[in-house]
Amino acid sequence: MTKVLVTLTCLFACATLGAALALFTGWPLAIVSGALAFLFTQHMSATYARGSDRRKTARDIGQLRKLTMEFDQQLAATSRRMDEISGQVEARSDAQGRKIVAELQVLESLMREFAGKISRTARAQQGEITPASVMQTGRRQGPTSAYVASIGAPSDMLETIRASLEENRVDLYLQPIVSLPQRKLRYYEALSRLRAEDGSVIMPAQYIKVAAPAGLMSVVDNLLLFRCVQVVRRLTVKTREIGIFCNISGDTLADAEFFPQFLDYMQANRDLAGQIIFEFSQSAVLKAGPQGEKNLRFLSDLGFALSMDHVETLGLDFLRLKALGFSHIKVHAAMLTGGMEGAHAAVAAEDFKKLLSRHGVNLIAERVEDEKTVVQLLDFSVDYAQGFLFGEPRAVRDEAQRAPETAAGGAAVLPLRKAS
């Protein structure tokens, strides 16, 4: 716009000069003078325009330099922030690695400590176990039952248990627990299996009846707990949406030597609250006594959720359970779908979930093995389900202690292998 105005002004000046010269000197000289004046004004206009362009270019270059300096500053700040974050991640990874190594060292130390106790207790109990307390078979046990049947005496079973514990042949198995109706993986239940020297698996139904009277269940629970902690720490690297149900026996809950150490350990690892749910049988809770209930409340106060399984009767004081910290209850699917007759429930099956909801307790149906059962459970508004339909217990491979795998959807899953 400025250039146009300058040009028009020059033209007006030339026209005025030409008219004046024509009036006083004649037209030929006026035309030459006007042409020279026009060329001069054009030159002046071009000079002014170039100066204006140079000034505009200089302003643009100055603005670009300013933006470049700001970008360099932001880039440097981002680089420093990335270095800080990288350092924090490395520090956390190192701390996590040191923590896992420390846990393994504690586990090894405890195993040596328990080894002497196991040997002394096993020898003392060898003469007190009857064959009826050992021999028991279960569904889908396969070679396990054959192995147990091959043990000639209860003392042989106790010796096998002792050797399995001393040599750390305790395997961690995980079984999925899914939400209904989405069937989305929400939890795993951790189960322990002993492994004999020949590789045969000894199921809980076989070893508990021998290990419990011998005072060895706290050893099994201790190993299971350490494995659960390691698995949870690996899971939380990728997601904190999946939790682990960790079973604790009634014998361990009543163990005055072990349980205080257990509480101290969980207090030091309370960052895992929300990922570990401790599970106790109904009989263990009912027989807990004042000290046992105090221990349960202590766990709950640390932030750990509690679950009840092996439920035989639904005539429970749910207010008391909630006060103890229980937020989950597992009920056999057959108990719910069978009309709950004989379960001593205060309400019908279709109203049972409403009763639990009033006390903030989730309902998990276990031993779900067919689609017909799922349809019935949906009518009862069951929160979660567990059973062979959704996945059998599978052993965690050794490499799960080192690095988790990632599913296609991005959620961390554990490398599992089928149960023997």
Structure tokens at 7: 């040009």
What is the distance between the alpha carbons of residues 175 and 388, in angstroms, rounded to a whole number? 9
Question: In sequence order, what are the beta bridge partners of 405?
Answer: 413
Instruction: Look at residue 131 and tell me whether its pLDDT is greater than 70.
Output: no
157: which residues sit within 8 A by CB, 6+ positions away? 129, 134, 148, 151, 206, 207, 210
- Average pLDDT score over residue span 238-249: 85
- Residue 14's pLDDT is what? 61
Structure tokens at 358: 């009033």
**Model confidence pLDDT, tens digit, residues 352-404:** 999 999 999 999 999 999 999 999 999 999 999 999 999 999 988 654 444 33
Dihedral of the alpha carbons of 230, 330, 145, 252, in degrees to the nearest 10: 60
Evaluate whether 413 touches 404 at the Cβ level (below 8 Å): yes
- Average pLDDT score over residue span 250-279: 86
Structure tokens at 238: 């990728």
What is the distance between the alpha carbons of residues 329 and 351, in angstroms, rounded to a whole number? 15
Q: Percent of the chain beyond pLDDT 90?
A: 26
Domain boundary among 71, 86, 102: 102
What burial class does residue 302 get, using C-beta atoms within 10 Å of its C-beta: 0-12 exposed, 13-18 middle, 19+ buried?
middle
**Model confidence pLDDT, tens digit, residues 207-235:** 888 878 877 787 788 878 888 888 888 87
- Residue 276's pLDDT is what? 92
- Residue 279's pLDDT is what? 95
Q: Is 391 left (phi over 0), alpha (psi -120 to 50) or beta?
A: left
Evaluate whether 394 touches 193 at the Cβ level (below 8 Å): no
Whether residues 110 and 93 share a domain: the answer is no
Residue 203's domain comprises 103-418
Report the number of distinct structural domains present in the chain: 2
* Residue closest to 402 by CA, chosen among 414, 394, 393, 411: 414
Structure tokens at 175: 């079984």
Domain boundary among 102, 130, 155: 102
Whether residues 184 and 196 share a domain: the answer is yes
Structure tokens at 312: 């035989």
Instruction: Look at residue 3 and tell me whether its pLDDT is greater than 60.
Output: no
* Residue closest to 140 by CA, chosen among 387, 338, 396, 397: 387
Whether residues 39 and 166 share a domain: the answer is no
403 or 308, higher pLDDT? 308
Instruction: Look at residue 81 and tell me whether its pLDDT is greater than 90.
Output: no
User: Which of the four pLDDT bands, split at 50, 70 and 90, describes residue 103?
Assistant: low
CATH of the domain at 142: 3.20.20.450
Domain boundary among 35, 68, 102: 102
Instruction: Look at residue 154 and tell me whether its pLDDT is greater than 70.
Output: no
**Model confidence pLDDT, tens digit, residues 13-66:** 666 655 665 566 655 655 666 666 666 666 677 777 777 778 888 888 888 888
- Residue 146's pLDDT is what? 41
Whether residues 168 and 92 share a domain: the answer is no
Instruction: Look at residue 256 and tell me whether its pLDDT is greater than 60.
Output: yes
Whether residues 144 and 181 share a domain: the answer is yes
Whether residues 230 and 370 share a domain: the answer is yes
Whether residues 55 and 115 share a domain: the answer is no
What is the distance between the alpha carbons of residues 264 and 259, in angstroms, rounded to a whole number? 9
22 or 205, higher pLDDT? 205
Q: How many Cβ atoms from other residues are within 10 Å of residue 188's Cβ?
A: 29
Instruction: Look at residue 169 and tell me whether its pLDDT is greater than 60.
Output: yes
Whether residues 42 and 27 share a domain: the answer is yes
Instruction: Look at residue 184 and tell me whether its pLDDT is greater than 90.
Output: yes
Evaluate whether 412 touches 405 at the Cβ level (below 8 Å): yes
């002792």: which residue's tokens? Answer: 162
Angle (CA) 321-253-273 rounded to 5° is 65
Lowest mean pLDDT segment, chosen from 243-252, 300-309, 327-336: 243-252
Whether residues 93 and 120 share a domain: the answer is no
Average pLDDT over the chain reads 76
Whether residues 267 and 368 share a domain: the answer is yes
Whether residues 302 and 357 share a domain: the answer is yes
- Average pLDDT score over residue span 320-326: 93
102 or 260, higher pLDDT? 260
- Average pLDDT score over residue span 396-420: 46
Whether residues 183 and 313 share a domain: the answer is yes
- Residue 420's pLDDT is what? 43
Instruction: Look at residue 419 and tell me whether its pLDDT is greater than 70.
Output: no
Instruction: Look at residue 257 and tell me whether its pLDDT is greater than 70.
Output: yes
Lowest mean pLDDT segment, chosen from 233-237, 307-311, 328-332: 233-237
- Residue 56's pLDDT is what? 80
